A = this chain, B = another copy of it.
Amino acid sequence: MKNIIYSSFAILFISFTSCTTSVNADIDSKTTTPLPSWNDVASKKAILNYVNDITNKESKNFIPVVDRIATFDNDGNLWSEQPAYFQLFFAIDRVKALASEHPEWKDQQPFKAVLEDDMPALLKQGEHGLIELVMATHGGITTDEFEEDVKQWLATAKHPRFDKPYNALVYQPMLELLDYLRANDFKCFIVSGGGIEFMRPWSEEVYGIPQDQVVGSSIVTEFDYNNGNPVIRRLPKMNFIDDKGGKPVGINRYIGRKPVFASGNSDGDLQMLQWTDSNSYKSFQLYLHHTDAEREWAYDRDSHIGRLDKGLDEAQEKGWTIIDMKNDWKVIYPHDLE
């Protein structure tokens, strides 16, 4: 049963990302050893070899700077996604925060289930109930109000297992990979099934990825002149779902160029990796395999969230690079360095 709610939510919120230039980080990465939180393993060597090759002007695989586009999924790839997509926790917390303005929610599903912390009842609402939850918590307000809500939530909410703010649960080795690529003149983008306006308020500070380099799912918005105080209103209607085949479409729509480097962790990223793999330049496909039940989570083919099944087969078949989280990474989160 739980699978239904997570899968349905997955349709609404899934992820892919691409990098930009944070000058200090670039200088650091150029003068220090790259990827310090990675063990000296095959995945790290493959990344270093690829970047050394395509940035070498003497190499037949040299790629001009303008074509160095890298795209990164977000959920389960740059930050954790268990025990549920963090955006689902946001939606649940939003319902609780808005409940006083909506006395009718006490007797109305799916809100009643959320307010009573009754997950089985919430699951019974199915996809329709979830969409209602999202629209009620993500729509009907202005883009400025929504941004403020996301910032407030991040400043106060804590992850149930780690008791840290959700955006503290980003992967230190992936932050180093973003820095390393930028130091080698890659332009890095997020390409995520997650909500584009849910990621932008913190993508610059946390990842060094500017707001205009975040691609994600979106709802319909409209401009309102509002008597000289213009606002953009978020309507309760889906606009674009940036998952599976939607990822290459989102890449084409937002970025234009085909990436040469793509990084994901689930079957929802497979089409992005296939699209990148079809680049006439030498390209790099990277899958993060969650194998670390102790420090993070271990899941793949049977997971209700971030399922990696077809993608794992195709990666093995095509020789794409797979990160074994447990063996390849010295630390998981930035606070592990402390």
Chain A residues within 8 Å of B, Cβ to Cβ: 66, 143, 187, 189, 196-197, 200, 204, 210-214, 218, 221-223, 225, 229-230, 232, 245-249, 252-257, 271, 274-275, 278
Contacts and interface: CB of A to CB of B under 8 A. Distances in A.
Contacts of A211: 255-257
A18 to B, nearest CB: 9
A246 to B, nearest CB: 8
Contacts of A204: 66
A248 B211 CA distance: 15
Given A221-B253, A223-B249, A257-B211, A230 B278 contact: yes
Nearest to A224: B245
A66 B22 CA distance: 11
A248 B271 contact: no
Oligomeric state, in copies: 2
Contact of A225 (B222, B255, B271): B271
Contact of A187 (B143, B196, B212, B248): B212
B196 A223 contact: no
Given A196-B253, A229-B278, A245 B222 contact: yes
A21 to B, nearest CB: 9
20 contacts: A66-B204, A143-B252, A187-B210, A196-B253, A212-B212, A212-B213, A212-B255, A212-B256, A214-B256, A221-B249, A222-B245, A223-B245, A223-B246, A223-B247, A223-B248, A223-B249, A225-B271, A230-B248, A230-B274, A232-B252
A275 B230 contact: yes
Nearest to A272: B223
A143 B271 CA distance: 16
A257 B212 contact: yes
A232 B254 CA distance: 14
Contacts of A249: 221-223, 232
A236 to B, nearest CB: 16
A249 B189 CA distance: 21
Contact of A66 (B200, B210, B222, B223): B210
A254 B256 contact: no
A257 B189 CA distance: 16
A249 B239 CA distance: 12
A210 B230 CA distance: 29
A94 to B, nearest CB: 20
A245 B222 CA distance: 7
The residue among A218, A223, A255 with the most chain B CB atoms within 10 A of its own CB is: A223
Nearest to A201: B256
A247 B223 CA distance: 9
Nearest to A247: B223
